[in-house]
Amino acid sequence: MGINAPLNRKLRMALVGGGQGSFIGRVHSIAACLDNRAVVTAGALSSNPERAKASAPDYDIAESRAYSSYQEMLETEAKLPEDERIDFVSITTPNHVHFEVADAAVKAGFNVVCDKPMTFDLDQAETLLKSVQESNVVFAVSHNYTGYPLVRQAREMILNGELGEINAIRSQYIQGWLRTQLEAEDQKQAAWRTDPSKSGAAGAFGDIATHAYNLGRYMTGLLPETVSCSLKTFVEGRKLDDYGTAIIRYESGALGSVTASQISHGRENDVEIEIDGTKGSLKWRQENPNEMIVRQNGKPHQIYTRDPNAPFTNGSGAAACRLPSGHPEAFFEAFANVYSSAFDAMVARAAGETVEQRDTVYPNVYDGVEGMYFIQQCVASSSQDAAWLPLKHAAARK
Amino acid sequence: MGINAPLNRKLRMALVGGGQGSFIGRVHSIAACLDNRAVVTAGALSSNPERAKASAPDYDIAESRAYSSYQEMLETEAKLPEDERIDFVSITTPNHVHFEVADAAVKAGFNVVCDKPMTFDLDQAETLLKSVQESNVVFAVSHNYTGYPLVRQAREMILNGELGEINAIRSQYIQGWLRTQLEAEDQKQAAWRTDPSKSGAAGAFGDIATHAYNLGRYMTGLLPETVSCSLKTFVEGRKLDDYGTAIIRYESGALGSVTASQISHGRENDVEIEIDGTKGSLKWRQENPNEMIVRQNGKPHQIYTRDPNAPFTNGSGAAACRLPSGHPEAFFEAFANVYSSAFDAMVARAAGETVEQRDTVYPNVYDGVEGMYFIQQCVASSSQDAAWLPLKHAAARK
Amino acid sequence: MGINAPLNRKLRMALVGGGQGSFIGRVHSIAACLDNRAVVTAGALSSNPERAKASAPDYDIAESRAYSSYQEMLETEAKLPEDERIDFVSITTPNHVHFEVADAAVKAGFNVVCDKPMTFDLDQAETLLKSVQESNVVFAVSHNYTGYPLVRQAREMILNGELGEINAIRSQYIQGWLRTQLEAEDQKQAAWRTDPSKSGAAGAFGDIATHAYNLGRYMTGLLPETVSCSLKTFVEGRKLDDYGTAIIRYESGALGSVTASQISHGRENDVEIEIDGTKGSLKWRQENPNEMIVRQNGKPHQIYTRDPNAPFTNGSGAAACRLPSGHPEAFFEAFANVYSSAFDAMVARAAGETVEQRDTVYPNVYDGVEGMYFIQQCVASSSQDAAWLPLKHAAARK
Amino acid sequence: MGINAPLNRKLRMALVGGGQGSFIGRVHSIAACLDNRAVVTAGALSSNPERAKASAPDYDIAESRAYSSYQEMLETEAKLPEDERIDFVSITTPNHVHFEVADAAVKAGFNVVCDKPMTFDLDQAETLLKSVQESNVVFAVSHNYTGYPLVRQAREMILNGELGEINAIRSQYIQGWLRTQLEAEDQKQAAWRTDPSKSGAAGAFGDIATHAYNLGRYMTGLLPETVSCSLKTFVEGRKLDDYGTAIIRYESGALGSVTASQISHGRENDVEIEIDGTKGSLKWRQENPNEMIVRQNGKPHQIYTRDPNAPFTNGSGAAACRLPSGHPEAFFEAFANVYSSAFDAMVARAAGETVEQRDTVYPNVYDGVEGMYFIQQCVASSSQDAAWLPLKHAAARK
C-alpha cells in the first residue's frame, strides 16, 4: 500500500517560522516527517526576509520555494498546479502572529497545523473558527500531549465508561526555567513568552496551563461550567503570571483543578494528570509517558505500559504506537501522532470526502477556541478575586 | 544514662479508647512504647464499661487500673502517690469525645496526647487551649506525619532559608476507601467518620485535609491569610464531604493548595507535598517516606534519603532517626517521634522546668486550634460559593 | 484475650550484647517488644563486666538481673523459679561469640534468637544444630528480611504455585559504606566485620550475601545443588571480600545468582530479588518494601501493596501486617515479625506442645546451618577459580 | 548551513530487508531520516523479488530503484553517477544473511549500517573486518542503546575518570516475550530468533546479552580477560538458550556480570546497567532513559536528567539531545544518534577525509567482531560447565 493511500504520495508541508535559532520549527518538521507521510516543501521561515531565505537549506527546501514572507508564499503556492502546491501550512511563530497567518492560509484553502495557544485572544480565535468552518480545511492545533499513546488509551477507556462516572480531574504542569527573570537577559524563548504584546493576556496560564486543562478535557469529554482562578507573578519585574491554580466546576458536578508553574526549581515539563471515576482512577505523567497507573479498590495497582500488542490495549492506544512495549516512545512520536491523525483527515479531504472538524482525534480549531476562552476567563477571574466565571464556550467539543 | 533522665524511669501512660476492635489505640500504644520510654499503665478503654475492663489484658494493664470510665480514671489516678500515678493520657476516641476527656485530663494536671482533629468544633478547641495555658501541661496533637525524619529535615532546611523565600505549597491527601457508601454497611471506621454528630462539620476535610494543611504549615511556618474552599460529596447518601480543594493565600504572598479525597479508587494514604522556594524546591510523599527530592535549576535532582550519618542531614532530621539509611523507617517510627518529642517536654516538666507550649517540635494544642479553624473556615467558604474567608487564627504558631 | 494466650503474660527476654554504643542490640529489643508480647528482663550486655552493668538502665533492666557475663546469667536465671526466669535469650554480639552463647543457652533449656551469620563456621553450626535438636527449644535466626509482609506474601504465592515452576532467582544486596578502608579508622562496625578472626571466612558474603541467598531460598523453597562463586576485595588492605557474585544451580534445573557489594558508592541496603516462574514473575526491593511487582505476559503489571484487607493478600501476608495499606511499615516491623513468629512457637512450647523446628515461618537453626554452608562453599569455590561445589546441606529446609 | 555540510545534500540510503511485515526495517528508516540528513533512495526489501518490489511504495522508493535482490542493487547502484548513487546500505535482514550482504556492500565501496549480531559466526565477522579495513568505508553496527544521550554522558564521565577506577559492572537485559514456545505458533520474529540456522549459536545471548555486554564495554572501555557462562533453555522444545548469566573478569581486575532472559513474565526490554567506581557509582535503565542516578557516599543521590543545557551535562551528552529536558526522548532518537554519528563519518569520507574506524562514537565493525566473540565464548563456556575462557579479542576497542 502506498504512502497516504489513496493519494499515494507524501503531503507537501510549508513551514512558517522555524528559522535559524528556532526550536519549535524543527520539532514540527521532525514530527510531520517521522512516518514518511510528509515532506517539507516550502517555507516562510522568518519575518526577516534574509534569514528566511538563509534558513531554507536546513530543511532541504528548494531555493525557489523559500519565501520572504508568508503572504508571498500563500499567493505563489496557490497558483501552482495542484500536483505541486503545498498541502498544509505549519505555523510555528510566536503567539501574536498565529492568527494572521492561519486565517490567510485557511482562506487560501490550505490545511493548517497551528501551535498553541492558537491566537492572541478569543476574538481572533472565534474569527478563525468561522473561516475554518467556511473553508472546510483541516485545522489542527498542537496540543501535542494528546498524541501520547497512553493518553489516547485513557481517553477511549473513559469515553467507554471503564472508569465509570468521572468525579474529579487534577492536572498540573510544573516548570522551573523562568525561576529568574530570564527575559531580562535577552533569552529569546523567555522574552516573547513573558511579553504581553506577544504572548497574550497570560504567561504560564497561556503557555502551559492550557495544555494541562486541554488534557483533562480531551481525556474525559466533561464539559466545564465555571472557573475560579488565582494567578501570581512571583518573579519581580515580570509582566505576566508565572504561577497559578484554577478550580473548575464541570456541568456533571465533577470538580477539577489545574495548576501551572514556571518557577518551581528544577522542574522540567512535569505534566501530570489524575482522574477519579466511580469505577476506577488513573494517573499519567508526561515525563515517564510509557506508563499509566490504573487503580481499583481491592485490586493490585495496574501499570498499563504502552503495549500495542497487549489485550488490554484498545484501538486508540494501539494505533498511536510505532514500537512494541519496552522500547520507549516519547515527545517526538506523540507530536507525530497529532500530525498523523491530521494527515488522515487531509488525505480524506484531498480524496474529496467531507471531513469532520470538531469531533476529531487530533486537537482542532474548536479546541483552540476553547483554549483561548480558558485563558481569557482565568485571567478575568484572577483579576476579580478569583470570582467564578463561565467556562463553557459554545464551540466546546464533547 | 537511664531512661528519661533525669527522671530515670518510664513514663506512665493512660489510654482512653483503644478497646477491642480499635485500630488507633494500638497505634498509640506501640508508638508511645517503641523507645522503651513509656509503659501503658492505666486505661479507660471503652465507653462500654464491660468492654473497657475486658480489653485491659491486651495492653497488659493491671485489673486495678482498668477503669470503667475516663472520669473514674482521672479521679482515681489523681489520688495515687506521685510515684505511681499516670504521667499522661492518650485520647484515641472518636472526635466528638476528645474535648471532654482532654479538658478533664488537663484540668486534673495530666499531660495529654490527643488524636486529631483535636475537638468537635472550634469553640471546644479554644476552650481547651485556655485550659492548657492555665494548667501548664504538655499537650500534643497527633499530626503524626510531622514525625517523619525527612519532614523535620525539610522543616529545618526551610526555616534556615535553604530554599529561599517560599512561593508555593501544594499538598494533597488522596484516599479511596470511602469510594462506596461503606457507612451503610456498618463499617465502624466509616460510620463515625461520615456522621456529622461524631466527626464534626467536615468529612474528608476534617479527617485528612487537616493533615495536608498542617504539613505545609509545619514545614514552612508561613502564616495563612485567607482561604477559598470547594467541597463535594460524591457518594450518594453521604452526609459529609468526601472530596475538596482549598486555595490558600499566605500573608507573605505565597499561594497554596490543599486537596483531599476519599473517593479515588485504589489510593491509600497518599499524602504528598511540594514546596517551591526562590532557591530550591522539594517534594515528599508519605508512602515512600525515606526519600525526598530537592531540586535546583542547573543541578541534578537531589534525592535526600533518611540518613542520620550523612553530612547533608541536619539536626532535626538526624534526631528523628533510629536506623542508618537504607533500612527504612515508616509510620510507627514517625508516630513515635511525635511521642518522643512530647516526652522530652513531659520529662522537663516533671523535672520542674517551664515548658514551651506553642513553638514545639511536636504538634500541640495551638496546632489543634488552628486545625479546627481550618475545618470551620473551609466548610463555611464552601457553603458560600468558595468565598474567601480569613484563615489566620490568633493562636497560629509561626 | 490476654497477651500470649494461653500463657497470658509477656515473655521474658534476656539480651546478650547490646551494651552502650551497640546498634543491633537496640534493634532486637525494639523489635521484640513492639507488640507488647515481651519485656527485656535480664541482660549480659557487654563482655566488659562494668559496661555490662552500666548499660542496664538503658533497657530498664533491674540491677539484680544485669549480669557480668552470659555464663553468670544463664546459671543464675536457670535457678530462678519458673515464673520469674527468662524465656529466651537474644544474641547480638559479633559473629565469633554467637556459638558459645547460643550453645550454652540452648543446653540450659532457653529459647534463643540469634543474629546471623549464626556461627563462626560450619562446624559450630552443625554442633549447635544437634544441641537444638536435643533440647527441643525454639531457635530463631535473624534473617530479618523474611519478616516483611510482602516477602511472606510472595512465599505463600510461590509455594501455592501461583508463579508456576520457578526457573530463575536473581538477588542482590548492594551497599557502599565500606567503599573506603573504614576499618583502619577505628570504626567499630567496620572493624569486626572485616576482621577474619571475628567475622569468619567471608566479608560481604558472610554479612549480606547470606541474606540475599536466604531470601531466595525462603521465598521459593528451591533446593540448591551447586555453586560457583567469584569474590573480590577491592579496597586495598582489606582482609575479606567486599564484592562478589555466586551462580547457583538448583536441583530443579533453575538458575540463580547472588551478588553482594559493600563498595558501591551511595548504595544503602539495596536488597532486591527477582523471581521468574512459568506463570508469572515478581520483583521486590527492601528499600521500598510496601510494594511488590507481579507480572504476567499480556496483563498490566500488578503492584501488590502491603494491604491486609485486600482480596489479593493471602494469609501469610495479612498476618504480617499491623497497619492498613498506605501507612508504610518497615524494618522494625519486619524484624518484629520474625520475633512474633518465634514467640508463637515459644508460647506453644511453654504450653507443653511439641514445636516444629525446621519447617517454620521464622528462619531457624537449620537456616543458620545452611547459611554457614553457603559461606563456606562460596569462599572455597572462589579460591578454586570459581569451581562448582556442592551447596545442598542435609539440614536444608524445603 | 546546509544539510550534511560541506556535502550540502542528504545522504542516499539503501535498505536491505524491511519488506512488508518487517519491524526493524521501518525502525532503521525512521531513525536514519529523523534529522533530515538521509533519504531512502533504493532498496532490496525482501528475498522474495515480488515482495521486494511491492514494498517499495511504503518507503517512497522509486520503482526503478526497487531491486529484486541485493546483488542487483549493489551492481546497478555502483554504476550510477556519483551524484545519484546510494551512499550507504542498511542491513535489516535476519542474522544469517548479514554477512553476505555486508561484505558485498563493503567491497562495492558503500558505507554500511548493519544490524546486530553482525554476522552468523566469528569467522564471518573477522572476514568482514578485513574487508572493511581494506575498503575504508564507514561501517556501523546497530548497538542502538549506545545512542541514548545519558549513555554517552556516562561514557564521557567514566572515560574522564569522574567515577574513579571502575571495579564492577552489572548489566542485564530481561524480556518475557519468549516465555512460551511462540516459535511453534508461526510467529515470525520468534521463529528465526530461535532457529540455530538463522540466529547463530546463541538465542537470548546472541539477541540481547550482546547488547548488555556491549553497553558495559562502551561505557567503561574496560578490556575483558575471561568469561564463565551458564546458559539455560527453559522453554521445552526450544533449540537455543532463553536465559543465562555470564561472569566477566576484566584485565584491570574489575568483575562484571551479564544476565539475559527471554522468559521473565511481563518484562519488556529491561536493559539496566550499574557501574561501581572508586569515586562514584551509576545506574541507568533503558525503559526510563531520560534519567540516570549517580551516587557518592555522603551526598544525596543525584538524578541526572537528559538536559542539554545543564552545566552538569558534558559534550557527548549534549550532542546527543534534540530536545530540552523534560520533553522525553526515547528509542527512535537513540537509534537516530547511532546513524547521526555514522553520518558524520560518512560525510567526512565523502569529503575525502580519512575516517577513524575503530575508536568511534558509533558502534562499529570492531564492536561487531567483539560481539560475535562474546557469543562464541559464552556458548563454548556454557557447554564446558561454565569454564573460564578468554574473552579479549585482538580487535577489541578500548
Q: Is residue A2 part of a domain?
A: no
Kindly report, residue by residue over C363-392, the tens digit of the pLDDT. Answer: 999 999 999 999 999 999 999 999 999 999
- Considering the domain architecture, whether residues D310 and D350 belong to the same structural domain is answered as no
A182 CB within 8 Å of a chain C CB: no
B311 CB within 8 Å of a chain D CB: yes
Q: Is the pLDDT of residue D45 over 80?
A: yes
- Considering the domain architecture, whether residues C140 and C208 belong to the same structural domain is answered as no
Identify the pLDDT of residue C215: 98
- Considering the domain architecture, whether residues A240 and A253 belong to the same structural domain is answered as yes
Kindly report, residue by residue over D294-324, the tens digit of the pLDDT. Answer: 999 999 999 999 999 999 999 999 999 999 9
ipTM value, please give it: 0.97
What's the rounded Cα separation, in Å, for the pair A183 and A187? 6
Torsion of CA A41, A46, A49, A54, to 10 degrees: -60
- Considering the domain architecture, whether residues C124 and C245 belong to the same structural domain is answered as no
- Considering the domain architecture, whether residues B188 and B265 belong to the same structural domain is answered as yes
Residue of D nearest to A322 (CA): D27
Average pLDDT, chain C: 96
Q: Does residue B227 contact residue B374 with C-beta atoms inside 8 Å?
A: yes
Neighboring chains of A (3 or more beta-carbon pairs < 8 A): B, C, D
Burial group, residue D354, by CB count within 10 angstroms (0-12, 13-18, 19+): exposed
- Give the bridge partners for D43, in sequence order: D15, D66
What's the rounded Cα separation, in Å, for the pair C86 and C73? 10
A290 CB within 8 Å of a chain D CB: yes
Unique residue bearing C-alpha cell 582489606: C238
B78 CB within 8 Å of a chain D CB: no
A299: which chain C residues are within 8 Å (Cβ-Cβ)?
310-312
Look at A36 and D57 and tell me if their CB atoms are within 8 Å.
no
Identify the pLDDT of residue B382: 98
Torsion sign, CA atoms A376, A378, A381, A387: positive
Q: Is residue D37 part of a domain?
A: yes
Q: Is the pLDDT of residue D22 over 90?
A: no
Q: Among A284-288, A317-321, B384-388, D4-8, whose mean pLDDT is lowest?
A: D4-8
Q: Is residue A3 part of a domain?
A: no
Look at C300 and A294 and tell me if their CB atoms are within 8 Å.
yes
Q: How far is C257 from chain B (nearest CA, A)?
A: 22
B311: which chain D residues are within 8 Å (Cβ-Cβ)?
298-299
Count of beta carbons in the 10 Å neighbourhood of residue B384? 12
Q: What is the mean pLDDT of residues D58-83?
A: 96
Identify the pLDDT of residue B1: 62
What is the DSSP code (8-state) at residue D46? -
Kindly report, residue by residue over D257-284, the tens digit of the pLDDT. Answer: 999 999 999 999 999 999 999 999 999 9
A232: which chain B residues are within 8 Å (Cβ-Cβ)?
167-168, 253, 255
What is the DSSP code (8-state) at residue D68? S
Q: How far is C46 from chain A (nearest CA, A)?
A: 47
Residue C308 DSSP SS3 = coil
Percent of chain D topping pLDDT 90? 95
Q: Is the pLDDT of residue C320 over 90?
A: yes
Identify the pLDDT of residue D2: 78
Q: What is the mean pLDDT of residues C229-254?
A: 98
The domain that holds C73 is classified in CATH as 3.40.50.720
Average pLDDT, chain B: 96
Burial group, residue D187, by CB count within 10 angstroms (0-12, 13-18, 19+): middle
D154: which chain B residues are within 8 Å (Cβ-Cβ)?
none
What stretches in chain A show pLDDT beneath 70?
1
Residue of A nearest to D332 (CA): A329
Residue of D nearest to A53 (CA): D1
First-to-last C-alpha distance (Å) of chain C: 34
- Considering the domain architecture, whether residues C156 and C86 belong to the same structural domain is answered as no
Q: What is the mean pLDDT of residues D384-398?
A: 95
Kindly report, residue by residue over C113-133, the tens digit of the pLDDT. Answer: 999 999 999 999 999 999 999
Identify the pLDDT of residue C1: 62
What's the rounded Cα separation, in Å, for the pair D108 and D97? 17
Identify the pLDDT of residue A1: 62
Look at B328 and C3 and tell me if their CB atoms are within 8 Å.
no
- Considering the domain architecture, whether residues B279 and B379 belong to the same structural domain is answered as yes
A298: which chain C residues are within 8 Å (Cβ-Cβ)?
310-312
Neighboring chains of C (3 or more beta-carbon pairs < 8 A): A, B, D
- Considering the domain architecture, whether residues A263 and A123 belong to the same structural domain is answered as no
- Classify strands D270-277 and D281-285 as parallel, antiparallel or unpaired: antiparallel
Residue of C nearest to A310 (CA): C298
Neighboring chains of D (3 or more beta-carbon pairs < 8 A): A, B, C
Q: Is the pLDDT of residue C151 over 90?
A: yes
- Considering the domain architecture, whether residues A84 and A163 belong to the same structural domain is answered as no
- Apex B231 CA angle, B226 and B237, nearest 5: 155
Identify the pLDDT of residue C90: 98
Look at C265 and D277 and tell me if their CB atoms are within 8 Å.
yes
D299: which chain C residues are within 8 Å (Cβ-Cβ)?
266
Q: Is residue B225 part of a domain?
A: yes
Residue of B nearest to C51 (CA): B1
CB pairs under 8 A between A and D: 112
- Considering the domain architecture, whether residues D174 and D242 belong to the same structural domain is answered as yes
Residue of C46, C85, C36, C51 lying closest to C65 (CA atoms): C85
Q: How far is C304 from chain B (nearest CA, A)?
A: 11
D274 CB within 8 Å of a chain A CB: no
CB pairs under 8 A between A and B: 128
Q: Is residue C378 part of a domain?
A: yes
Q: What is the mean pLDDT of residues B324-339?
A: 98
Identify the pLDDT of residue A167: 98
What's the rounded Cα separation, in Å, for the pair A87 and A41? 10
Kindly report, residue by residue over D341-373, the tens digit of the pLDDT. Answer: 999 999 999 999 999 999 999 999 999 999 999
Q: How many domains are contained in chain B? A: 2
Torsion of CA A131, A136, A141, A145, to 10 degrees: 150
Residue of B nearest to A279 (CA): B265
Q: Is residue B25 part of a domain?
A: yes
Closest partner CB to D243 (pick from C167, C228, C259): C167
C187 CB within 8 Å of a chain B CB: no
- Considering the domain architecture, whether residues D110 and D239 belong to the same structural domain is answered as no
Look at B3 and C267 and tell me if their CB atoms are within 8 Å.
no
Look at A328 and D57 and tell me if their CB atoms are within 8 Å.
no
Q: Is the pLDDT of residue B110 over 80?
A: yes
Closest partner CB to C261 (pick from D234, D276, D295): D276
Look at B326 and C268 and tell me if their CB atoms are within 8 Å.
yes
Q: Is residue B157 part of a domain?
A: yes
B26: which chain C residues are within 8 Å (Cβ-Cβ)?
322
Q: Is the pLDDT of residue D41 over 70?
A: yes
Residue A34: give the domain boundaries. 11-145+340-362
Closest partner CB to D302 (pick from B298, B302, B311): B302
Q: Among B1-5, B159-163, B206-210, C81-85, whose mean pLDDT is lowest?
A: B1-5
Q: Is the pLDDT of residue D1 over 80?
A: no
- Considering the domain architecture, whether residues C141 and C151 belong to the same structural domain is answered as no
What's the rounded Cα separation, in Å, for the pair B42 and B29? 11
Identify the pLDDT of residue B168: 98
Kindly state the cell numbers that stand for B239: 452526609
D312 CB within 8 Å of a chain B CB: yes
Q: Is residue D335 part of a domain?
A: no
Q: How far is A242 from chain B (nearest CA, A)?
A: 11
The domain that holds D281 is classified in CATH as 3.30.360.10
Look at C234 and D167 and tell me if their CB atoms are within 8 Å.
yes
Residue A171 DSSP SS3 = strand
What's the rounded Cα separation, in Å, for the pair D241 and D204? 6
Residue of D nearest to A4 (CA): D58
Burial group, residue B64, by CB count within 10 angstroms (0-12, 13-18, 19+): exposed
